[in-house]
Structure 1
Amino acid sequence: VQDIPERAHLYNGQTPQGFTMEIAIAAHAKASVDGIDNATDDVQLALRIGHRAVIVDGGPHNIKITHAPDLEIARLLLERKLGRSKVVRLTRPFSFDEREVLCTPDITRIAVRPLLGSICAADLRYYAGKRPADALRRKLPMALLHEGVGEVVFSPLPELRPGTRVVIVPNIKRCADPTCRACASEHIGENYCPSNAFLSSGEDGLMQSLLELDARNVVPVPDDVATDVAVMTEVASIGVGAIRRLEDLAGTACVVGAGPVGYATQVVAAELLGHEPVLVKHGDPMPAADIYFEAAGGVGAEAAIRDIISAARPGATIVLLGVSENEIPLNTRLVLEKGLRLVGCSRSAPIDHRVTLELMAHPHVAAKIKKLVISQRFQLSRVREAFDFALARSAWGKVLIDLTA
């Protein structure tokens, strides 16, 4: 050591450093032409071509990731920032348990704080013990809810800044097979791959204060789409996904079943097909049509499918959206004689969520979708009350849970 300079006149330089793309490209291009391959950093290259560098305040947590130990330091810093997550799980029918778990963040993923969730019929089947006993044994305990909106807490991506509202896509990709037809084909979709998972169906859903997701599982909500409209994205995206899988969109269409999925499918189909499908409610006569979206499900599925097959025009397409726990008999003779096409649709893909949010940005679509939501809202601390209320309701509409309270 020969000398120790006066530190009051020194700055501790940090990376990353900020540039416009044009300056960065020009600086590196000039360095390449001039044969410079030993520059200390990008600022040095920018100064060479006449640009001025200014100093901005940094911070001790703005570390540079160069070596493997840096990743561990970054993970620990993020863990300290995120702290603990509260998870509310269904442990057995009608019984919830709340736990705190230590966050162990992955700095390559998106940390999301769920804001608002919607109770789905599938959630109610778990809550009321209406799933097969082996399914309950395999999947519980589990945090419920897969329809919801959150806000970004941490993201390595500049387009997903902290505070950004996002719709959560509940398909969790587990498939590592590069030849998988479902995952590789946009026409089929990863939601049909048996290797993939789904939030609130064997994976903890949104009833937790922090959720780590891949970037493909979050879709930014446009500024002009309200949170209590965006929360219906997953429901409405089912219809969007069904229409995406159709090969022929010509002719008249019917939506059979006036529950939330049926109503939302009618709304999005009116935009994507160019005409509003007839909504067939329980007890209504079944009209002849070229495209049917069966959204009755449950105990009403058998009668709905029977009536559709009977009324369908030759060559019609029947899209099955409704979920039933029971096997349903099928009149294959009429299916064959009429040349009918049956298309099974389950859930939806990220692209369907993006299209749905684009549709919701139109005020007339948002106004229709908002009719799905009832005015009463529950806090997560009253989760049992929320589920009992939803289970007892005979009226139409979705029950929302404020996941921040």
Structure 2
Amino acid sequence: MINQVYRLVSPRQFEISYKDHSINEPDCIVVRPTHLSICAADQRYYTGTRGKEALSKKLPMALIHEGIGEVVFDPEGELSPGTRVVMVPNTPVETDDVIAENYLRSSKFRSSGFDGFMQDYVFLRRDRFVVLPGHINSYVAAFTELVSVAMHAISRFERKSHARREAFGVWGDGNLGFITSLLLKRKYKGCKVYVFGKTPFKLDNFSFADATYNINEIPDDMAFDHAFECVGSVGSQYAVNQIIDYIKPEGSIALLGVSEYPIEVNTRMVLEKGITLIGSSRSGHADFKATVDFLSENPDVVEYLETLIGSVNEVKTIGDMISTFEKDLTTPWGKTILKWEI
């Protein structure tokens, strides 16, 4: 079977390439992407801000690692054509009894040196998808991967932090901060969730939080048991150090924001307070399964996540791809969804 792959070959330039793939491999299913979602990492490649060295190593490459699709063919006959699935971008090539699949250095990740979901068809191993219940909104399901990242971070927090979980601080008023705050509020019944950001209209969307604060107007008596940093970039330095100032002794800080450069951390107070820093990156199949189950069991969470749908864009041509990525750059809030009809 000849498959068309839409690869970024240089900043802001896509080209079609063709790959031959067998459809009769018993360990794979064939999926037609239907709804995709743009991530900030995709934009760094698209705009060329990822860095010349990284671009030279990874391009040409199909972008996007967030998406769902419909089963076209299952050589084993276990899945009917039309079955909706969430596609898992992390692709391990080995297993480890201690290290999770998303931390193994040998694992491949779609749209990061390995073709993403901007293809006519995606060939998925049987451990690289989760069947999606029919009642979950497709536009929300398109960014299941981002929700699974927050779910994974919370699962790591649960294993590594102390048991007092009465109040949480979340730094970051963007998509990841919204999702993380929402999951914390639903998973820990009766807890307080305080959100800290710098953009008033974004903070207005956190209606489920117990309180929201501008990072320049935090009350002196603010305190919480644990915190999640969802800022990233250079701003993560200021976020982490603010958290260190307000967190209670022996609390934990889950780090989710990605920074391209090293940041300075007030390690003196980390030591004095006995703070635990927990790094978290990407997610694996188990996190996707937990996420889909959680969304299925909590329809109100899906309704809140619908507020993150920034725009829905039909993509039928390469020109549509470019215009959608350009539109995403100017979208101030939420996720840009591609209705994949090419």
Q: Return the TM-score normalized by structure 1.
A: 0.74
Aligned to 2:278: 343
**Structure-to-structure mapping, 1:349-364, within 5 angstroms:** 349-361=284-296, 362-364=298-300
Is the 8 Å Cα contact of residues 89 and 110 (structure 2) preserved in structure 1?
yes
**1:85 aligned onto 2:22:** no
Aligned mate of 1:280, from 196, 202, 222: 196
Q: Give the secondary structure class of the aligned counterpart of 2:32.
A: strand
Aligned mate of 1:254, from 169, 172, 180: 169
Aligned to 2:327: 389
Summarize the Cα distance change of 1:110–1:307 in structure 2 as closer, same or farther, 3 Å threshold: same
Aligned to 1:308: 243
Distance 2:283 2:164 in 1: 22
> What is the Cα deviation at residue 338 of structure 1?
0.4
Code of the residue aligned with 1:404 in structure 2: it is E
Distance 1:388 1:281 in 2: 25
Aligned to 1:323: 258
Aligned to 2:184: 269
Work out which of the two has the higher radius of gyration on C-alpha atoms and give 1 or 2. 1
Code of the residue aligned with 1:356 in structure 2: it is T
Aligned mate of 1:232, from 132, 143, 155: 143
Aligned to 2:82: 163
> What is the Cα deviation at residue 157 of structure 1?
4.5
Q: Give the secondary structure class of the aligned counterpart of 2:117.
A: coil
Q: Give the total of aligned pairs.
A: 314
Distance 2:104 2:233 in 1: 23
Q: Give the secondary structure class of the aligned counterpart of 1:207.
A: coil
Distance 2:32 2:8 in 1: 20
Q: Give the secondary structure class of the aligned counterpart of 1:87.
A: strand
Aligned mate of 1:401, from 311, 335, 338: 338
Is the 8 Å Cα contact of residues 208 and 403 (structure 1) preserved in structure 2?
no
Distance 2:256 2:301 in 1: 21
> What is the Cα deviation at residue 380 of structure 1?
4.7
Percent sequence identity is 38
> What is the Cα deviation at residue 232 of structure 1?
2.0
Code of the residue aligned with 1:94 in structure 2: it is R
Code of the residue aligned with 1:279 in structure 2: it is V
The structure richer in strand per residue is: 2
**Structure-to-structure mapping, 1:5-404, within 5 angstroms:** 83-105=1-23, 106-175=25-94, 180=96, 184-185=97-98, 188-246=99-157, 247=159, 248-251=162-165, 252-274=167-189, 275=191, 277-282=193-198, 283-284=214-215, 285-286=217-218, 287-361=222-296, 362-381=298-317, 382-393=320-331, 395-404=332-341
Q: Give the secondary structure class of the aligned counterpart of 2:86.
A: strand
Q: Give the secondary structure class of the aligned counterpart of 1:356.
A: helix
Distance 1:110 1:269 in 2: 34
Distance 1:194 1:253 in 2: 31
Distance 1:200 1:165 in 2: 21
Q: Give the secondary structure class of the aligned counterpart of 1:328.
A: coil
Distance 2:116 2:126 in 1: 17
Distance 1:156 1:392 in 2: 43
Summarize the Cα distance change of 1:372–1:131 in structure 2 as closer, same or farther, 3 Å threshold: same
> What is the Cα deviation at residue 126 of structure 1?
0.7
Let me know the Cα RMSD of the aligned residues.
Answer: 1.6
Q: Give the secondary structure class of the aligned counterpart of 1:153.
A: strand
> What is the Cα deviation at residue 311 of structure 1?
1.3
Q: Give the secondary structure class of the aligned counterpart of 1:347.
A: coil
Is the 8 Å Cα contact of residues 314 and 339 (structure 1) preserved in structure 2?
yes
